[in-house]
Amino acid sequence: MEFRTFDIPGPIEILPTKFEDDRGYFSELFRLEPFAERAGPVEFVQDNQSLNLRAGTIRGIHFQAEPAGQGKLVRCASGSVMDVAVDLRRNSPTYGRWTSVVLTPQSNNQLWVPIGFGHAFCTLEPNSVIHYRVTSYYSPDHDGGVAWNDPDIAIDWPNVADPDTLSAKDRALPPLAGLPQYFSMEGR
C-alpha cells in the first residue's frame, strides 16, 4: 500500500497494491495500522455510496461541523471522478486551498479527506459510483458547505463539470468569505 501526501497537510491519496493474475486481481483496500500511522486514529462508523448517472455531475463542497465533524475515505467503484479536498481550517497556512485526485477503479486509489476539510467531486464518466467511509454519523444539524465555484477557492474543475447537475442545496451554499469559523488547526 502506497500513501501520497500533498502540499496541503491532511489529505492523503492511498494506492492499495493489486495482486493480479489471469482471473483478475485481489487488493487489500484498507488496513488500520498503516492508515492510522499517517492519518491519526480513526474509527469509521458509516459507509455511504452515491450513484451519479451523468458525466459532469458536481456534488459539494460539503462538510460536517463539530461536534459531528466527518473524516471521509473516498473511492470510486465504477466510472471515474475528480475528487476534491478544500482546507477549511481558518488559521491554517493553506486555508481555502484545494487539492484533488482522479479516482478510478482501475487505479484502485482512494482519497482521505480529514475533518476540517470540505469535500466535493465531479464525475468524469456516466454511471460513476462513489463509495466513502466516514468517521461520524450524518447530522443534519451540523451539515455545511461552501459554493462549488467560489472564486476565492478557484477549483480548476474539468471541462465536463455541469452546474445544471447541482442540487438545490448546493446552489445555495455560501462563499468562503461568508463562512463562519468551523475548524481550526488546533481543534482540527
Any catalytic annotation for residue 119? no
Please pick, among 25, 95, 131, 132, the residue that the annotation labels catalytic.
Answer: 132
The contacts of residue 171 (CB under 8 Å, 6+ apart) are: none
Any catalytic annotation for residue 132? yes
Say how far apart CA 123 and CA 53 lie, in whole Å.
9
Task: Output the CA angle 22-27-29, nearest 5 degrees.
Answer: 160
Say how far apart CA 3 and CA 25 lie, in whole Å.
20
CB 117 within 8 A of CB 10: yes
Please pick, among 62, 95, 119, 182, the residue that the annotation labels catalytic.
Answer: 62
The contacts of residue 127 (CB under 8 Å, 6+ apart) are: 51, 52, 53, 78, 79
- Active-site residues, by number, are 62, 132
